[in-house]
Amino acid sequence: MTFDWADWTGLIGSAMFIIGFVYANISKDMDKVAFNLLNIIGAVLLLVSLTVHFNLAAVVLETVWALIATGGLIGEIVRRRSA
The share of the chain scoring above pLDDT 90, in percent, equals 96
Question: What does the pLDDT read at residue 55?
Answer: 97
Domain that holds residue 62: 5-82
1 pLDDT more than 90: no
Residue-averaged pLDDT of the chain: 97
35 burial (CB, 10 Å; 0-12 / 13-18 / 19+) is buried
Quote the number of domains for the chain: 1
At 20 the pLDDT is 97
Q: Give dist(CA 46, CA 23) in Å, integer.
A: 20
Q: Give the model's pLDDT for residue 54.
A: 97
**pTM for this model (two decimals):** 0.94
